Structure 1
């Protein structure tokens, strides 16, 4: 099963819009950041903690992020991971920024996610330093064979893999084909009720009938 973590908090995800979703879904959760200000009941909803260093660079500090993680401790049991800060498109700078924060995330009882960025295939990956591989990077690299090989290696090591910026059926299918365990995106930012129903249909196709959806794709090669 692949889980979709929405960067847009929709009440139906928490069972508050039964006209749209009769029951919460285990394959549908949320991606939260300290900058969002949302504090929904996450007792039975999967979520992940992003640091917002890209979307809110002026507001990001390691201290603010770790304090926010402490405040989210009541819902730690349903948290899939928390993301160490990164630098978009730069694997070397990302490691320098992430390395001190990964143990801080772990020390609070969360799984630490490390964001793979352009050029990571040229580096020695410190696999034991993190618990989840987050496929980031610029779009061309994110969909490259380098990212796919890193995903395969993470799964061989028993580590979950998350893919960021998934806002289409095609990209969601790619994440599923690559054996990612979760993805996130802001697909619900526009026409949220309508697009929620579309997203649920996609998840049903991938999670309930994977052999029908993915078999042909594997025969025809990797999706872009």
Structure 2
């Protein structure tokens, strides 16, 4: 992280500390069911605000799999996150591809591709990423736990991704992840990507490797 090869990802549920001098992103932990509540999340972000110049993005609270509910929940938070000095990330959920609101793309700074796995891997989500890039919004992809999923994220045009893969054995798996990133840097995915494994198989592989 201090060499800039990877960034830190923090969440209020994990309780991990921000390493000195490293880029970071802050996730709300809604997907894992560990969102601490609005007031606790606000206090936690406030503790990170002095380091906002190193933040890649901060996610507004969302509703998994439901774009309209997410937008209603996230809208006031996106303004508040920006006011703290952070780039505000909207979690893209199922159905966002149908939202043609005139002000949608002005509400946030980064598109976090979330949603159910089936939707996230759909052509609709891929098109949504293209629209985000057309609007000048960086894209982050969540739940990326394999080389193929990382290559697919690059193929879509995402500039960053995260997953829990390293938690199954950092000493063993970190060299593998760094190898993936070096490979993608030297051999970008254009049209030769492989269709990612489904999520159940990814988790099974990760457990076996741990």
Q: Secondary structure at the match of 1:81?
A: strand
Change (3 A) 1:216 1:129: closer
Change (3 A) 1:133 1:215: closer
Name 1:50's counterpart in structure 2: 27
Q: Secondary structure at the match of 1:31?
A: strand
1:138 aligns with 2:113: no
1:29 aligns with 2:7: yes
Higher relative contact order (CA 8 A, sep 6+): 1
The unaligned stretches of length 5 or more in structure 1 are 1-12, 15-23
Report how many aligned residue pairs link the two structures: 194
Alignment TM-score, normalising by the size of structure 1: 0.81
2:143–2:162 contact (8 Å) kept in structure 1: yes
Name 1:64's counterpart in structure 2: 40
Q: Distance in 2 between matches of 1:56 and 1:139?
A: 16
The unaligned stretches of length 5 or more in structure 2 are 197-210
1:166 aligns with 2:141: no
Deviation at 1:147, TM superposition (A): 0.7
Deviations along 1:98-144, one digit per CA (max 9) or x if unpaired, are: 11111010010001000111111122351100010010011110011
Q: Secondary structure at the match of 1:217?
A: coil
Q: Distance in 2 between matches of 1:157 and 1:121?
A: 14
Alignment TM-score, normalising by the size of structure 2: 0.86
Structure 1 moving runs of 4+ over 6 Å? none
1:115 aligns with 2:91: yes
